[in-house]
Amino acid sequence: MELDLTPKLAKKIYGGDGGAYYAWCPNELPMLREGNIGAAKLALEKNGFALPRYSDSAKVAYVLQGTFRSSMIYCYGNSICLFFNRDMVRFCFDRAWSGWYCPPEKEEKVLPIKKGDAIALPFGVVTWWYNKEDTELVVLFLGDTSKAHKSGSFTDFFLTGSNGIFTGFSTEFVSRAWDVEESIAKTLVSSQSAKGIVKVAPTAKMPEPKKEHYNGMALNCEEAPLDVDIKDGGKVVVLNTKNLPLVGEVGLGADLVRLNGSAMCSPGFSCDSALQVTYIVREAAVSSPIFTHLAGRTSVWKALSPEVLQAAFNVPADVEQKFSSKRKAEEIFFPPPK
Protein backbone atom coordinates (compact mmCIF):
# COMPACT_ATOMS: atom_id res chain seq x y z
CA MET A 1 0.00 0.00 0.00
CA GLU A 2 1.39 3.40 -1.01
CA LEU A 3 1.27 6.13 1.60
CA ASP A 4 1.52 9.87 1.06
CA LEU A 5 4.49 10.97 3.18
CA THR A 6 4.53 14.65 2.18
CA PRO A 7 4.44 17.11 5.12
CA LYS A 8 1.03 18.35 6.21
CA LEU A 9 -0.06 21.19 8.47
CA ALA A 10 -2.41 20.68 11.38
CA LYS A 11 -5.91 22.10 10.97
CA LYS A 12 -7.66 24.23 13.55
CA ILE A 13 -10.44 22.27 15.25
CA TYR A 14 -11.71 24.89 17.70
CA GLY A 15 -10.56 27.98 19.57
CA GLY A 16 -11.15 31.60 20.48
CA ASP A 17 -9.52 34.48 22.37
CA GLY A 18 -7.83 32.08 24.78
CA GLY A 19 -6.11 29.94 22.16
CA ALA A 20 -6.75 27.13 19.71
CA TYR A 21 -6.55 23.36 19.31
CA TYR A 22 -5.17 21.84 16.12
CA ALA A 23 -5.02 18.26 14.85
CA TRP A 24 -3.63 16.30 11.94
CA CYS A 25 -6.33 14.53 9.97
CA PRO A 26 -5.87 10.82 9.14
CA ASN A 27 -7.76 11.43 5.89
CA GLU A 28 -4.87 13.64 4.76
CA LEU A 29 -2.21 11.54 6.46
CA PRO A 30 -3.38 7.93 6.02
CA MET A 31 -0.25 6.80 7.85
CA LEU A 32 -1.83 8.01 11.06
CA ARG A 33 -4.79 5.68 10.61
CA GLU A 34 -2.64 2.80 9.43
CA GLY A 35 -0.30 3.14 12.36
CA ASN A 36 -2.96 4.01 14.98
CA ILE A 37 -1.16 7.23 15.80
CA GLY A 38 -2.78 10.49 16.86
CA ALA A 39 -1.18 13.93 16.60
CA ALA A 40 -2.52 17.26 17.86
CA LYS A 41 -1.33 20.63 19.12
CA LEU A 42 -2.63 23.05 21.76
CA ALA A 43 -1.77 26.77 21.65
CA LEU A 44 -2.79 29.03 24.55
CA GLU A 45 -2.54 32.80 24.64
CA LYS A 46 -1.91 34.71 27.87
CA ASN A 47 -4.61 33.76 30.42
CA GLY A 48 -5.78 31.01 28.12
CA PHE A 49 -7.40 28.11 29.97
CA ALA A 50 -8.02 24.72 28.35
CA LEU A 51 -11.06 23.32 30.14
CA PRO A 52 -10.83 20.03 32.07
CA ARG A 53 -11.06 17.02 29.79
CA TYR A 54 -10.05 13.40 29.41
CA SER A 55 -9.11 11.51 26.27
CA ASP A 56 -9.73 8.11 24.72
CA SER A 57 -5.99 7.68 24.09
CA ALA A 58 -2.77 7.48 26.06
CA LYS A 59 -0.47 10.33 25.02
CA VAL A 60 2.84 11.99 25.56
CA ALA A 61 2.81 15.78 25.63
CA TYR A 62 5.91 17.73 24.58
CA VAL A 63 6.18 21.46 25.29
CA LEU A 64 7.38 23.26 22.17
CA GLN A 65 7.16 26.80 23.52
CA GLY A 66 6.23 28.72 26.63
CA THR A 67 6.08 28.41 30.39
CA PHE A 68 2.77 27.44 31.98
CA ARG A 69 1.01 25.22 34.46
CA SER A 70 -0.78 21.96 33.88
CA SER A 71 -2.91 19.81 36.13
CA MET A 72 -3.46 16.07 36.04
CA ILE A 73 -5.84 13.90 38.01
CA TYR A 74 -5.13 10.20 37.58
CA CYS A 75 -7.77 7.56 37.90
CA TYR A 76 -5.33 5.60 37.26
CA GLY A 77 4.28 2.91 19.82
CA ASN A 78 4.64 2.40 16.33
CA SER A 79 7.28 5.07 16.65
CA ILE A 80 6.29 8.70 16.93
CA CYS A 81 8.87 11.38 16.40
CA LEU A 82 9.30 15.12 16.06
CA PHE A 83 12.16 16.93 14.34
CA PHE A 84 13.74 20.31 14.98
CA ASN A 85 16.25 22.12 12.80
CA ARG A 86 18.94 23.62 13.03
CA ASP A 87 19.19 21.12 15.75
CA MET A 88 17.01 18.20 14.79
CA VAL A 89 15.08 16.54 17.57
CA ARG A 90 13.50 13.13 17.23
CA PHE A 91 11.08 11.90 19.85
CA CYS A 92 10.22 8.20 19.42
CA PHE A 93 7.65 6.25 21.40
CA ASP A 94 7.26 2.48 21.47
CA ARG A 95 3.85 0.95 21.96
CA ALA A 96 3.13 -1.41 24.83
CA TRP A 97 -0.19 -2.83 25.86
CA SER A 98 -1.67 -2.02 29.22
CA GLY A 99 -5.04 -1.56 30.85
CA TRP A 100 -5.92 -1.26 34.48
CA TYR A 101 -7.98 0.59 37.02
CA CYS A 102 -6.31 2.81 39.59
CA PRO A 103 -7.92 4.39 42.65
CA PRO A 104 -8.74 8.07 42.14
CA GLU A 105 -6.38 10.72 43.43
CA LYS A 106 -7.48 12.81 46.39
CA GLU A 107 -5.94 15.98 44.98
CA GLU A 108 -5.06 17.48 41.66
CA LYS A 109 -1.40 17.72 40.78
CA VAL A 110 -0.44 21.11 39.35
CA LEU A 111 2.84 21.03 37.45
CA PRO A 112 5.10 23.95 36.52
CA ILE A 113 5.91 23.22 32.86
CA LYS A 114 8.31 24.85 30.42
CA LYS A 115 9.79 24.37 26.95
CA GLY A 116 11.39 20.96 26.51
CA ASP A 117 9.24 19.14 29.07
CA ALA A 118 7.80 15.73 28.22
CA ILE A 119 4.73 14.59 30.14
CA ALA A 120 3.16 11.14 30.02
CA LEU A 121 -0.65 11.14 29.98
CA PRO A 122 -2.12 7.65 30.51
CA PHE A 123 -5.71 6.52 30.04
CA GLY A 124 -8.12 7.96 32.56
CA VAL A 125 -6.20 11.15 33.31
CA VAL A 126 -8.18 14.40 33.51
CA THR A 127 -6.14 17.46 32.54
CA TRP A 128 -6.47 21.20 32.32
CA TRP A 129 -3.89 23.66 30.96
CA TYR A 130 -3.36 27.31 31.85
CA ASN A 131 -0.97 29.91 30.45
CA LYS A 132 -0.22 32.83 32.74
CA GLU A 133 2.70 34.27 30.75
CA ASP A 134 2.89 36.70 27.82
CA THR A 135 4.58 34.11 25.59
CA GLU A 136 2.20 31.79 23.74
CA LEU A 137 2.16 28.26 25.07
CA VAL A 138 2.42 25.52 22.44
CA VAL A 139 2.28 21.84 23.38
CA LEU A 140 2.33 18.85 21.04
CA PHE A 141 0.38 15.65 21.73
CA LEU A 142 1.36 12.32 20.20
CA GLY A 143 -0.07 8.97 21.16
CA ASP A 144 -1.50 5.54 20.51
CA THR A 145 -5.06 5.44 19.13
CA SER A 146 -5.41 1.65 18.90
CA LYS A 147 -8.12 1.80 21.58
CA ALA A 148 -9.58 5.13 20.48
CA HIS A 149 -13.01 5.77 19.00
CA LYS A 150 -11.39 6.80 15.72
CA SER A 151 -8.13 5.32 14.50
CA GLY A 152 -5.55 8.06 13.96
CA SER A 153 -7.47 10.68 15.96
CA PHE A 154 -7.80 11.74 19.58
CA THR A 155 -11.29 12.25 21.00
CA ASP A 156 -11.48 14.47 24.07
CA PHE A 157 -14.43 14.49 26.45
CA PHE A 158 -14.96 17.81 28.21
CA LEU A 159 -16.33 18.07 31.71
CA THR A 160 -17.65 21.61 31.17
CA GLY A 161 -18.42 23.99 28.32
CA SER A 162 -20.93 24.07 25.48
CA ASN A 163 -19.80 20.60 24.39
CA GLY A 164 -19.40 19.25 27.93
CA ILE A 165 -20.66 15.74 28.54
CA PHE A 166 -23.31 16.92 31.01
CA THR A 167 -25.10 19.01 28.39
CA GLY A 168 -26.50 15.72 27.13
CA PHE A 169 -28.30 14.92 30.38
CA SER A 170 -31.51 16.35 31.74
CA THR A 171 -31.34 18.94 34.49
CA GLU A 172 -33.21 16.58 36.82
CA PHE A 173 -30.68 13.81 36.23
CA VAL A 174 -27.70 16.11 36.84
CA SER A 175 -29.25 17.59 39.97
CA ARG A 176 -29.75 14.12 41.42
CA ALA A 177 -26.26 12.98 40.47
CA TRP A 178 -24.63 16.00 42.10
CA ASP A 179 -27.23 16.34 44.86
CA VAL A 180 -27.90 20.00 44.18
CA GLU A 181 -31.04 21.95 43.41
CA GLU A 182 -32.10 21.91 39.76
CA SER A 183 -31.46 25.65 39.50
CA ILE A 184 -27.86 25.11 40.61
CA ALA A 185 -27.43 22.18 38.23
CA LYS A 186 -28.76 24.26 35.34
CA THR A 187 -26.36 27.08 36.21
CA LEU A 188 -23.38 24.74 36.44
CA VAL A 189 -24.08 23.09 33.09
CA SER A 190 -25.08 26.14 31.05
CA SER A 191 -22.99 29.05 32.37
CA GLN A 192 -19.84 28.11 30.47
CA SER A 193 -20.76 28.85 26.86
CA ALA A 194 -17.26 28.43 25.43
CA LYS A 195 -16.01 25.26 23.76
CA GLY A 196 -12.77 23.71 24.97
CA ILE A 197 -10.72 26.87 25.55
CA VAL A 198 -11.54 30.10 27.36
CA LYS A 199 -9.69 33.25 28.34
CA VAL A 200 -10.01 33.91 32.05
CA ALA A 201 -9.82 37.36 33.60
CA PRO A 202 -6.31 38.61 34.48
CA THR A 203 -7.47 38.81 38.09
CA ALA A 204 -8.66 35.20 38.18
CA LYS A 205 -6.90 33.14 40.82
CA MET A 206 -5.69 29.75 39.63
CA PRO A 207 -3.91 27.04 41.64
CA GLU A 208 -0.18 27.59 41.94
CA PRO A 209 2.10 24.83 40.60
CA LYS A 210 4.06 22.71 43.06
CA LYS A 211 7.61 21.60 42.30
CA GLU A 212 7.07 18.32 44.14
CA HIS A 213 4.31 17.41 41.68
CA TYR A 214 6.76 17.73 38.79
CA ASN A 215 9.11 15.00 39.98
CA GLY A 216 8.32 11.66 38.37
CA MET A 217 5.56 13.08 36.19
CA ALA A 218 7.56 15.13 33.70
CA LEU A 219 11.10 15.35 32.37
CA ASN A 220 12.79 18.26 30.64
CA CYS A 221 14.50 16.72 27.61
CA GLU A 222 16.67 19.78 27.04
CA GLU A 223 18.17 19.56 30.54
CA ALA A 224 18.25 15.80 31.17
CA PRO A 225 21.60 13.93 31.27
CA LEU A 226 22.67 12.77 27.82
CA ASP A 227 22.79 9.11 26.89
CA VAL A 228 24.74 9.85 23.69
CA ASP A 229 26.82 12.95 22.94
CA ILE A 230 28.74 13.15 19.64
CA LYS A 231 30.69 16.38 19.17
CA ASP A 232 29.31 18.39 16.23
CA GLY A 233 27.05 15.42 15.50
CA GLY A 234 24.15 15.01 17.88
CA LYS A 235 22.83 14.10 21.29
CA VAL A 236 20.36 11.53 22.59
CA VAL A 237 18.22 11.46 25.72
CA VAL A 238 16.30 8.26 26.43
CA LEU A 239 13.11 8.46 28.48
CA ASN A 240 12.74 5.42 30.70
CA THR A 241 11.39 4.36 34.08
CA LYS A 242 14.50 5.68 35.82
CA ASN A 243 14.24 9.31 34.73
CA LEU A 244 10.46 9.36 34.15
CA PRO A 245 8.76 6.60 36.20
CA LEU A 246 5.35 7.36 34.71
CA VAL A 247 6.60 6.06 31.37
CA GLY A 248 6.47 2.55 32.82
CA GLU A 249 2.94 3.01 34.13
CA VAL A 250 1.53 4.12 30.77
CA GLY A 251 3.51 1.58 28.74
CA LEU A 252 5.30 4.12 26.55
CA GLY A 253 9.04 4.35 25.97
CA ALA A 254 10.71 7.31 24.24
CA ASP A 255 13.99 8.83 23.14
CA LEU A 256 14.92 12.36 22.12
CA VAL A 257 17.56 12.90 19.41
CA ARG A 258 19.17 16.28 18.71
CA LEU A 259 21.05 16.47 15.41
CA ASN A 260 23.40 19.42 14.85
CA GLY A 261 23.24 21.49 11.69
CA SER A 262 24.77 19.79 8.62
CA ALA A 263 25.10 16.53 10.56
CA MET A 264 23.18 13.41 9.61
CA CYS A 265 21.64 10.48 11.40
CA SER A 266 22.56 7.01 10.24
CA PRO A 267 19.94 5.39 7.98
CA GLY A 268 18.02 2.63 9.67
CA PHE A 269 14.85 0.60 9.73
CA SER A 270 12.47 -0.86 12.27
CA CYS A 271 12.65 -4.58 12.88
CA ASP A 272 9.13 -4.64 14.34
CA SER A 273 7.45 -2.62 11.55
CA ALA A 274 7.29 0.52 13.69
CA LEU A 275 6.21 3.74 12.00
CA GLN A 276 7.44 7.30 12.47
CA VAL A 277 5.59 10.60 12.39
CA THR A 278 7.71 13.70 11.85
CA TYR A 279 6.80 17.10 13.31
CA ILE A 280 8.76 20.07 11.91
CA VAL A 281 9.07 22.89 14.41
CA ARG A 282 11.07 25.47 12.44
CA GLU A 283 12.74 25.66 9.04
CA ALA A 284 13.23 22.59 6.88
CA ALA A 285 14.48 19.30 8.32
CA VAL A 286 15.05 16.32 6.78
CA SER A 287 -7.62 -5.52 28.09
CA SER A 288 -9.59 -4.27 30.77
CA PRO A 289 -12.11 -1.41 30.47
CA ILE A 290 -11.31 1.72 32.48
CA PHE A 291 -14.13 3.68 34.10
CA THR A 292 -14.10 6.96 35.97
CA HIS A 293 -17.09 8.50 37.70
CA LEU A 294 -18.33 12.06 37.45
CA ALA A 295 -20.56 12.17 40.51
CA GLY A 296 -20.09 11.02 44.08
CA ARG A 297 -17.20 10.90 46.55
CA THR A 298 -14.76 9.28 44.14
CA SER A 299 -15.52 11.55 41.18
CA VAL A 300 -12.91 13.79 39.63
CA TRP A 301 -14.87 16.85 40.74
CA LYS A 302 -13.74 16.28 44.32
CA ALA A 303 -10.10 16.54 43.28
CA LEU A 304 -10.37 19.76 41.28
CA SER A 305 -9.63 22.94 43.20
CA PRO A 306 -12.40 25.52 43.79
CA GLU A 307 -10.68 28.04 41.53
CA VAL A 308 -10.56 25.61 38.63
CA LEU A 309 -14.22 24.65 39.12
CA GLN A 310 -15.28 28.30 39.17
CA ALA A 311 -13.34 29.04 35.97
CA ALA A 312 -14.46 25.85 34.24
CA PHE A 313 -18.16 26.25 35.06
CA ASN A 314 -17.98 30.06 34.83
CA VAL A 315 -19.88 30.43 38.09
CA PRO A 316 -19.31 32.44 41.28
CA ALA A 317 -17.81 30.96 44.43
CA ASP A 318 -21.15 30.44 46.21
CA VAL A 319 -22.47 28.24 43.38
CA GLU A 320 -19.24 26.24 43.29
CA GLN A 321 -19.42 25.73 47.08
CA LYS A 322 -22.97 24.39 46.87
CA PHE A 323 -21.80 21.95 44.20
CA SER A 324 -18.61 20.86 45.98
CA SER A 325 -20.28 20.36 49.33
CA LYS A 326 -22.54 17.60 48.01
CA ARG A 327 -21.99 13.87 47.45
CA LYS A 328 -19.00 13.70 49.79
CA ALA A 329 -20.00 10.37 51.32
CA GLU A 330 -21.78 8.49 48.53
CA GLU A 331 -19.82 6.31 46.11
CA ILE A 332 -21.36 5.66 42.68
CA PHE A 333 -24.93 4.60 43.44
CA PHE A 334 -27.44 7.08 44.81
CA PRO A 335 -30.74 6.07 46.42
CA PRO A 336 -33.92 7.86 45.37
CA PRO A 337 -34.58 11.17 47.12
CA LYS A 338 -36.80 11.04 50.20
Query: In one letter, which amino acid is 215?
Result: N
The per-residue pLDDT for 327 is: 77
User: Helix %, strand %, coil % for the chain, to 5?
Assistant: 15, 30, 55
Of 114, 119, 108, 70, nearest in space to 218 by CA: 119
14-56 confidence digits (pLDDT tens): 999 999 999 999 988 888 888 888 999 999 999 999 999 999 9
Domains in the chain with CATH codes: 11-79+95-158+196-222+273-290 (2.60.120.10), 162-195+293-338 (no CATH)
C-alpha–C-alpha distance, residues 27 and 42, integer Å:
20
pLDDT tens for each residue of the chain, 338 residues long: 566 777 788 999 999 999 999 999 998 888 888 888 899 999 999 999 999 999 998 888 888 887 655 655 544 322 333 333 333 444 444 443 322 233 455 578 888 888 888 888 887 788 999 998 888 999 999 888 888 899 999 999 999 999 999 999 999 999 999 999 999 999 999 999 999 999 999 998 888 888 888 887 888 988 888 888 887 778 888 777 788 877 766 656 667 777 777 776 666 656 555 666 666 555 544 534 455 667 777 777 888 888 888 988 999 999 998 888 887 776 554 556 66
Contact 67, 43 (CB under 8 A): no
320-331 confidence digits (pLDDT tens): 988 888 877 765
State the angle between helix axes of 317-324 and 182-190 in degrees (0 to 180), rounded to the nearest 10: 120
DSSP-derived secondary structure for 32-89: HHHHTEEEEEEEE-TTEEEEEEEESSEEEEEEEE-EEEEEEEE--------B-SSSEE
The per-residue pLDDT for 170 is: 95
